[in-house]
Structure 1
Amino acid sequence: MSAILPGIQSAESIHALAQAGIVTFATPPVAGQVQPASLDLRLGRRAWRVRASFLPGQNADVASRLNTLALHEIDLTRGAVFESGCVYIAELQESVALPQGLSASCNPKSSTGRLDVFTRVITDRSREFDAVEAGYRGALYAEISPRTFPVLVRTGSRLSQIRFRAGASRLSDTELAVLHQAEQVVVGGGISIQGGVAVSVDLAGFDGGGGQRLVGYRAKRHTGLVDVDRVDAYAVSDFWEPLAADGRGQLILDPGQFYILASKEAVHVPPDFAAEMVPFDPLVGEFRVHYAGFFDPGFGHAAAGGAGARAVLEVRSRDVPFLIEDGQIVGRLVYERMAQRPHTLYGADAGSNYQAQGLKLSKHFHSVTLPAAAI
């Protein structure tokens, strides 16, 4: 292949990486697996229930850790239920042989995070989750831990995604301010750029019909299982409790509960950039926001049908009840340059489930999208 250009690699570059043997597939890739700035990773044939989460460390591989931590092996070709509160390690069908100068990072897919399924990718000799170092050659594995709903998975299920990066691609705050002035990367709320663009929570509410305003959903406990490969298959009321706005713009997060909320700002990712949601600051609150962090080029882009798209926030409280308020900063968006503009933007095909979203559950549930009201 031609020289790898600096920046986040687009879909076209990912196809070229595959042709060059830098990315390999145990079975042929499937339609929609390559996204505008990332590649979906598919579960392989085997998984293991393990006693504890782990990192192999620089002197060990995943297989050797499994020899001591695995409780039993699971055949994914027949489908398997992953129980909430348990930890699993699964083979992935994709592997890499990265040259020096090309690294990768991983994240759960949006639909995975919205199910409260905690998923991280590990490699042999890894010292960090979701990081694939430049020069790494070998297999990829997914650590999977459902936190609320038991899930049905199988060989080929796509829970994680990988993004390839060459060189330094992240915009500085100064560069991000210039981009915002030109492209309006967020609209609404108070614009704050410090280590990325601040994103706040909307507790004023969305129009839920019948004069009701909803601020989000709280997951129910002791539900049935969710098949991760089924779309528009489950009744919302069987899994979620809607949360009405209280008129004061406040919400108390209960420890151990999982919430779906939405950002106050509309988010825009211009075609020549990619973005990622990262925690704002672990010291600002006793909660975690947004398991799934990748935003593809074209998300919220008006020309791709995304004007007004909000960031959906996957929120889990920690050890104590915590009060959050309307407009409170809960995360930040960092932007990176694309190595090349993808030919197809997010939202420009049928595989983009969350373009122009307001407050929206994962694609598995019957659609009750609340509109991204004009800001």
Structure 2
Amino acid sequence: MNDTPTRIQVAGTAGTAPYEVLVGHQLLGELPALIGRGSHPSSTTAPSGGAARRSGVQRVAVLHPEALSATGEAVRADLAEQGYEAIAIQLPNAEEAKSAEVAAYCWSVLGQTHFTRSDVIVGIGGGATTDLAGFVAATWLRGVRWIAVPTTVLAMVDAAVGGKTGINTAEGKNLVGAFHPPAGVLCDLACLATLPVNDYVSGLAEIIKAGFIADPVILDLIEADPQAARTPEGPHTAELIERSIRVKAEVVSQDLKESGLREILNYGHTLAHAIEKNERYSWRHGAAVSVGMVFAAELGRLAGRLDDATADRHRAVLSSVGLPLTYKGDQWPRLLDTMKVDKKSRGDRLRFIVLDGLAKPTVLEGPDPALLVAAYGEVAK
């Protein structure tokens, strides 16, 4: 096994600093270099009601889900041994972490520990954890540095890269958030060894998405051995993850705030987010994205934009790794209402990312309602 991590550069844009995404094994040793050492006043006097900070010592808040409490505590203890004032903040598991109440709890802890702009947040976990950690970092003192340590396929190839942070509300997913890129991302592939198979396969949806919108080699690798793609022990695991990250890195390096090009990363997501909300976030994100991509492919085909072979390829690739292709037929009215408040909508005009061909994403704006109904009919069960 090659011990040298792959380093993928994400360029700074819109006034943000560039950063690296590291992919490899045993990467936690890279944390101190990313955290750095902040300068603080040489005083050991505690502010009113708080604990004293040792002179020149930096604070680090390690945010982790309950399911990774042992990992979070181990990272906190290791940072403490290296001289940081490290605290651990435990979050609810999965999408339950992405709420205003959980964010407020984190703000309270940061306030009580007198977290300053020189201090750093570390988010360890899946996509929900990195979304929440980034949002807390973006909003505390109007922005502090943070580092993402994604532990799932989904978080590595999507949530942790690109600086999109956010929480969910009763009205929809990720409607409240901020663009706040991390100072670095550590994708330790060893974390995937204990990931449940359904969670691992869910992450493949985002990898397959990257294949359809930008890098068809991803599709070729999966089609060559779909069963091997379903496991972290597969021969192409590192390459699939690295290729997907490179797709996202290239896009967000050109368009951080989704003013144009970055919209292509939402391929399949408009319907997916509506499904997730309809299921009260009990569906895995990748499962919803899989159905969303089939819908987008059918929409593109019916609109005369996408050829039959590429549209059919969606079903073949997604089903080959065990991802779903259909959703409840009677839920269309509710899904449509939710999609109308999607972030990509403009006024009352729905916008969908579709393909003009393999790796040729484009925007379909204000499609005929009958076209939407017909496309949904192709995924309804």
Q: Normalised by the size of structure 1, how large is the TM-score?
A: 0.27
Q: Which has the higher strand share?
A: 1
Higher-Rg structure is 2
Q: Normalised by the size of structure 2, how large is the TM-score?
A: 0.27
Q: Which has the higher helix share?
A: 2
